Structure 1
Amino acid sequence: MDNSILITLVSLGVIGLFLVGVPIFLVIALWVTGVSLVIDFTLANIGVTLFEGLNFFGLLSLPLFILTGDLIAAAGIATRLANFAHACLSWMRGGLGLATIGSCGLFAAISGSNSATTATIGGIMHPLLKADGYDSRFAAATAAAGGTVGIIIPPSIIFIVYGFLMNLSISDLFVAGILPGMLMVIAMQAVCWWMCRKHGWGSVTPLDMKRVFRTARQAYLGFFAIFIVIFGIYSGIFSPTEAAAITVGFCLVAGLLLTREIKWKALPDILLRSGQLTGMLAPMIAVSIVMQQVFALLGAAETVAAFVAWFGNGETVVLLVCMGIVLAAGCILESLPVTVIFAPILAPIAVATGVDPVHFSVIFLVGAAIGFITPPFGLNLFVASGVTGIPYSQLVRFAVMYMTGLVISWLLIAFVPWLSLGLIPTPG
């Protein structure tokens, strides 16, 4: 039987497994193994590559930033940041909704995870939003949308993965995500303000500077954690791995001795949660290296390049086609498999037209982030549904409004390279 037919059968088989709920890591691993057998690619390579794929110092920051997110949630730092955001924005219509999105941005600047941002801030803010007269479905969708910046504002777990896969400086990627992440927050806040003004949701209270300063003082631990990550990496004092280790130590001490909301007996559970997430991400990264090798042997990059070239060879056309592919993939896949599968294929195509590789990384991952609230997958919508108890289907209507704002900001990020590259220090 022809190899192409066998590869098609293998692909259809693993797609069927994915549709019935088999974890994506196993789906990709089975596809890699099956296709390797079809094309006579040595299976011994899989074992070697799985080990060597994770034998990289920069990946140590991955479990550390995951642990940071769990620690700041357990230490009560996230709640203090949310209180500060509300104090600053309560004078506007929809101020509590705006504060929810702002809190997501602040939490993302320490945690680096979209699902952790949605779950933590959603759990804190959703009851407050309901009590303040917001539609409960809109409130849950707001937390889900705000969580999209979790992988864009540094530190970002997925930027670490992207940098590793594409051999780019993780520090540069972190810095490149600052302004785009802020733009996404502003775009979502604009949507939230318009919706709240239209429906009359939320109360309005005069700006109280005493309250602002009081909540800022209470949230100083969060600000200091953000400072460690962003200033340490931007200035070159720390590598991302070193910044992650220092931030973990700081958040642990803060939770145990300063806020005293982390109890010693709770530490094993916190570590276990972080370990479980790391245990899901690390195998995906390892098997992705093998998949890239198989793709190279199959000529996948050339096939996709020909497809993109069919629309035209100009930089603008190539970017729009690549963005369309990422957005479509994000509708059915989580950001990690989207990155693992498509980044090694699309990035070289875009770079060949003159797009800066760091700029394209931001474009790519903002598109993947929008996928977190894009049906039918929309991971953040599932997380928000789980936290709030509101059915997934009822969140989609309001998520579409936020998607509109995010797509507009995405286009600005794509065609204004300075937003991604303006803060990166120039060599020398």
Structure 2
Amino acid sequence: MDGILITLISLGVTGLFILGIPIFLVISLWVIGVSLVIDFTLANVGVTLYEGLNFYGLLALPLFILTGDLINAAGIAKRLSDFAYSCLSWLHGGLGMASLGACGLFAAISGSNSATTATIGGIMHPEMTKGNYDSKFAAATVAAGGTVGIIIPPSIIFIVYGFMMNLPIGDLFMAGLIPGILMVVAMQLVCYFIARKNGYGVLKAFRFKHAVKMGMRAWLGFLAIGIVLWGIYSGAFSPTEAAGMTTGFCLLAGVLVTRELKFSQLPTILMRSGQITGMLAPLIAVSVVMQQVLSLLGAKEFLTELLGLLGGYYPILFACLLIVLLAGTVLESLPNTIILAPILAPIAMSIGVDPIHFAVLFLIGDAIGFITPPYGLNLYVASSMTGIPYLQIVKAVLPYLYALMATWALVAFIPQLSLFMLSF
């Protein structure tokens, strides 16, 4: 009888999700409904919701979100984009490649996929269309570039994953560095060949002095990146302390150095960052309860037994990654992580996959989901930002999708790509 009720509840909340009900409410209704069925007391649910957020490491979450908004308002993101273009303007597709490079630099400060797409897209898409690029390809480029937002450290989702799976967030950050760079390079190669084939862009001679000048203008961005990476890598800061230092630095830089950030803008910036945090934090809290409920239902044991029928290291690993990818086509990265990581990570560990390596693989799959239809959040962000129909961007983004899939497979086959930075 319990099984029938749980199935009906699951079907019901799935229907609500299809109708567009926010994912937080969908998961909450499922958790409460199933808890009542299996006699998991609501008092325990309340305590677990509180304890789910009572974790010092999660303070980095709102701080990195705020950092992303500050570097945009302070003009630091624009200076990083200008520097990237000054280095690549002599290549076919140089402006597109610069957009992808700027996404990587922005990601190294902000830690958010959709924020990376929105910020760099808002700066670079108009420049690309004026520079003789097809507008659909330009929109696809900034959408694809945004995928590195949760891979190149710092990463908001790495913070959530580390919290949920009890892994060192600093180690996760460093493990994502090389794979994130590889993702950017792979997409830049795609951009180069497509631009060369179609004659996109206008070639400009490389001027060393101009590149140096643009680099000097972007020094604030490089320093912000350095604060994060050096602080965490050297052990001088915890990820939370690094987030606080970077937020404070970007605030002072915008007000005192670039002077593009006005005190009158701060309430709006803080409110926007607070709204994003307010959407993420309750979802994290309810995910802790969901883990408990799934554990009581034996979900991990069932899936472990099912995947165990495949036999062998790579069949099970790639089955796990396929599940992540398929879930990413319909779920945003946070609920995907919340639902699947506690189930799949122990399965991967049972066959000998390093937990840090699997975390990187899991989140690369999550990142690819940002440009994978029918969901593909970055595609929707690019569509709303440019006015180009969603399906047209989907078609244009496919070459980038294939490049990211190839990079994902490479990292899966060569664990040292994610573990190398932890060997020092």
Short-chain TM bin:
over 0.9
Count residues in correspondence: 424
Deviations 1:320-355 (A, max 9, x none): 101100000000000000100000000000011111
Quick check: 1:280 aligned with 2:279? Answer: yes
- Show the 5 A alignment for 1:4-403: 4-312=3-311, 314-403=312-401
Q: Tell me which amino acid in the other structure corresponds to 1:141.
A: A
CA distance in 1, matches of 2:129, 2:161: 38
For the residue of structure 2 that corresponds to 1:423, the secondary structure is helix
Q: Quote the offset at 1:425 in angstroms.
A: 4.4
- Cα distance per residue 1:80-108 (max 9 Å; x no partner): 00000000001100000000000000000
Question: Amino acid of the residue matched to residue 415 of structure 1?
Answer: F
Shift of 1:310: 2.3
Offset, 1:375 = 0.2
What amino acid does structure 2 have at the position aligned with 1:374?
T
Instruction: Tell me, in whole angstroms, the C-alpha distance in 2 between the residues paired with 1:315 and 1:44.
Output: 41
Q: Please give the alpha-carbon distance, in whole angstroms, between the structure 1 residues aligned to 2:275 and 2:184.
A: 29
1:360 CA displacement: 0.3
Sequence identity percentage: 66
Per-residue displacement from partner, 1:224-275 (whole Å, max 9, x unpaired)? 0000001110011110000000000000001111111111111000000000
Aligned-pair RMSD on alpha carbons?
Answer: 0.7
Structure 1 gaps, min length 5 = none
Q: One-letter code of the match for 1:149?
A: V
Aligned amino acid, residue 324 of structure 2: V
Amino acid at match of 1:84: F
Q: 1:180 and 1:97 mapped to 2: Cα distance? A: 20
Distance 2:421 2:394 in 1: 35
Equivalent-residue separation in structure 1 for 2:296 and 2:248 (angstroms)? 44
Q: Within 5 Å, which residues of 2 pair with 1:409-420?
A: 409-420=407-418
For 1:159 and 1:179, the matched residues in 2 are separated by 15
In structure 1, distance between residues paired with 2:308 and 2:398: 31
- Separation (CA, whole Å) in 2 of partners of 1:270 and 1:145: 25
Residue 393 of structure 1 deviates from its aligned partner by 1.1
Query: Secondary structure of 1:261's match?
Result: coil
Given residue 70 of structure 1, which amino acid in structure 2 is its aligned partner?
A: D
Distance (whole Å) between structure 2 residues aligned to residue 124 and residue 311 of structure 1:
47
Partner deviation per Cα, 1:269-307 (whole Å, 9 max, x = no partner): 000000000001101110000000000010000111122
2-structure distance, mates of 1:62, 1:315: 34
Paired amino acid for 1:65 = F
Name the amino acid aligned to 1:72.
I
- Tell me which amino acid in the other structure corresponds to 1:44: A
What SS does the aligned partner of 1:376 have?
coil
Unmatched runs of 5 consecutive residues or more in structure 2: none
